[in-house]
Structure 1
């Protein structure tokens, strides 16, 4: 970790197990404030927590990367709708995956209505 006047620069070696040989990826981080190593590590983990909890779900469950909306207000409007749908699908306290809940809401109008109304009897 290197500190300059008002910035922190850091590099992290991340293990990658895509092959039999253990490889490492280098990730570089910049921060506009001076942080100690422990605080900087927490900030990086928090960033990846958001990436894994939000963006991964949007990509895998809602196929966000396949959307064809590219201009006008469409992309922003659909992003809001996807976030609302993701929050609704996350609400039930059952053991079903988000993909299963989304599919069930698509196939079962009563389940979809209970999701939207947030009824306690979602099973």
Structure 2
């Protein structure tokens, strides 16, 4: 163990303040600037990979955990998300396209055939 670091996470959401301390241990000997950059990069990747499925497909709210069912559903969600993102003729967010597909067979067809 070479480096121990602490970050302070602060945000205001819906009128409530939130303050968290996050601690990190590293085997690399790095400066404070390198530590900050590494932590930002880590959370940037985390947010890009997990935020959209968590928010638009409510992945964290899924109670299914039996056998490989959770992994299988995550795979289906990932495929659906890729299809929604591949459809370029409709200029809308992933969440909006998903809602549109539930109300219109034409939109669903566009997404499935993208």
TM-score, normalisation: structure 1:
0.73
Question: RMSD across aligned C-alpha pairs, in angstroms?
Answer: 2.6
Equivalent residue for 1:101? 97
Residue from 16, 32, 56 that aligns with 2:11: 16
Equivalent residue for 1:26? 21
Q: Report whether the alignment pairs 1:114 with 2:110.
A: yes
SS in 2 for 1:11: strand
TM-score, normalisation: structure 2:
0.77
Q: Which runs of 5+ in 2 are unaligned?
A: none
Tell me how many residue pairs correspond in the alignment. Answer: 113
Q: Which runs of 5+ in 1 are unaligned?
A: 1-5, 119-123
> Which of 1 and 2 has higher RCO (CA within 8 Å, sep 6+)?
2
Report how far residue 27 of structure 1 moved.
Answer: 1.4
- CA deviations 1:37-89 (Å, max 9, x no partner) are 33322221122113322322222210112212111110111111111112222
